[in-house]
Amino acid sequence: MSIKLMIVDDSAVVRQVLAQVFATVPDVKVMDTATDPIMAMDKMKKQWPDVLVLDVEMPRMDGITFLKQLMQTHPTPVVICSSLTQKGADISMQAMAAGAVEVIAKPQSGVKQFLEENGNMLVSAVRAAACARMSRVRTMAPTPLEARPKLSADAILTAPTGGGMFQTTERIVAIGTSTGGTQALEVVLTALPRTSPGLAIVQHMPEKFTASFAERLNRLSEIEVKEASNGDRILPGRALIAPGGKHMMIKRSGAFYHVEVVDGPLVSRHKPSVDVLFRSAAKFAGRNCLGIIMTGMGDDGAKGLLEMHDAGARTIAQDEDSCVVFGMPKEAIKLGAADEVLPLDNLSRAICR
């Protein structure tokens, strides 16, 4: 059964190129396109799509208004496709908060070439959205399009050696998540007190978007939430979000922890990669760290969580019932990497413990 896709974008170029990209994908069918939400709603009365690819800034009705209406009347997986600008990122974060499950950043110029060259990312986003359990979205493995080597964390950081990690009073938390993670992280972080341990977080998200995401969470949370910069200390009452398009690692200096933000190849097909974060936590924090893998498509982070477990860290996977997509936690559980499997609403308490 193919995924029925509708593309809603006022740009004829975007509609045409996206239709061409998905024409070569056997499990996705572009059932229709629309220039704005008003036209889309008329067409959806005849046939409802499984997934919508939605622009934000459009005539007659903007994408956020349309999305909010959609989530109230007929919750449907939505992939936001928005300009790679600060303004676009801010608006897209509002859309994610309203219930969108994925975000794709398109440049202001060279859009046609960008979409053609990033077919894998587009297809993966639509497939992930199609797997989303919309009842779990909170509002507040087919063959890839193009075969690419799936690199492990070895591409960034060597594996832990098993050497002893001396104990410290400093306790930290490493979290990895993807599809559904923007809403899930809001649930967790807004429940944490200022006395909570420091957190290092990877949320799969494009560059420029993570800064707006962190700013939004910072406004809503009692703790400080910021996009990580190279060398930032992991401090109690602070959460560091890995920048989109960069890997983030936990490093140790004496008894204290900080993050190192680096470039590099995609790891587990992602940048930032949860596997990279978790491996660094296993290597430099060991039993001083708590590892949590949350809702998301694929298996990024599963092997890294196992490395954390083997290094003496306590490890948790989010349970299936509370996940939007039970992919990443499921793979970690299959490997025996999780000490506990907990619902989303229990994760903040586990962090405080």
Are 327 and 297 in contact, with CB atoms under 8 Å apart? Answer: yes
CA–CA separation, 215 and 89 (whole Å): 11
CA–CA separation, 235 and 200 (whole Å): 10
How many other CB atoms sit within 10 Å of the CB of residue 286? 21
Structure tokens at 317: 């996977």
Query: HSE on the CB side for 350, CA within 13 Å?
Result: 23
User: 198-203 and 78-83: which strand pairing?
Assistant: unpaired
Say what angle helices 86-98 and 63-73 make with each other, to 10 degrees.
Answer: 10
User: Which positions are catalytic?
Assistant: 178, 204, 300
Structure tokens at 93: 């974060």
Classified as helix, coil or strand, 256 is strand
CA–CA separation, 113 and 99 (whole Å): 29
How many other CB atoms sit within 10 Å of the CB of residue 149? 9
CA–CA separation, 269 and 72 (whole Å): 34
Are 287 and 312 in contact, with CB atoms under 8 Å apart? Answer: yes
Cis peptide leading into 272, omega within 30 of 0? yes
